[in-house]
């Protein structure tokens, strides 16, 4: 089972004060969402960062976590019609490999308009896309 927590280890609730979400299962930490914000009168949820912990990468957990998070959004914030991603933070490894992995993950769960951008000369690739409520 997947559990979502706020900074204070309380169960996560979507709000303007909970910009980070920590994901755990019965075995420990699984993923992190950071810089979560609302746009367009709370009809769009924007996520700047999503990362799986090293020990669960490449095990299909990304799809599971994102789909479970979308269920939380649908249940607790019915006005939200889209989840927008702008994933750019680099953790470990090749920036290009990380961006390609993120792009493939978003495409697999049905995110639309998925693409990669290089916003500046730094070694950063931003993976963007929009996940419409009908596809959650």
Domains and CATH numbers, the chain: 35-135 (3.40.630.30)
What tens digit of pLDDT does each residue of 19-55 get?
A: 999 999 999 999 999 999 999 999 999 999 999 998 7
> Which pair of tokens denotes residue 96?
């290009």
What tens digit of pLDDT does each residue of 76-126 get?
A: 999 999 999 999 865 556 788 889 999 999 999 999 999 999 887 677 899
Q: Write the DSSP assignment of 65-120 as a string of letters.
A: HHHHHHHHHHHH-TT--EEEEEE----SS-HHHHHHHHHHHHHHTT-EEEEEE--S
Distance from the Cα of residue 105 to its chain's centroid:
10
Q: Whole-prediction pTM value?
A: 0.90
């Amino acid at each position: 089972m997947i559990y979502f927590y706020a900074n204070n280890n309380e169960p996560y609730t979507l709000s303007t004060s909970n910009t980070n979400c920590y994901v755990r299962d019965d075995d420990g930490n699984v993923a992190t969402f950071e810089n979560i914000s609302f746009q367009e009168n709370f009809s769009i949820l924007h996520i700047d960062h999503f990362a799986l912990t090293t020990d669960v990468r490449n095990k299909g957990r990304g799809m599971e976590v994102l789909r479970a998070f979308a269920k939380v959004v649908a249940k607790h914030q019915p006005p939200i019609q889209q989840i927008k991603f702008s994933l750019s933070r680099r953790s470990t490894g090749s920036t290009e490999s990380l961006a390609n992995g993120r792009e493939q993950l978003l495409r697999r769960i049905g995110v639309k308009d998925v693409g990669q951008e290089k916003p500046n000369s730094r070694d950063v690739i931003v993976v963007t896309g929009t996940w419409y409520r009908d596809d959650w």
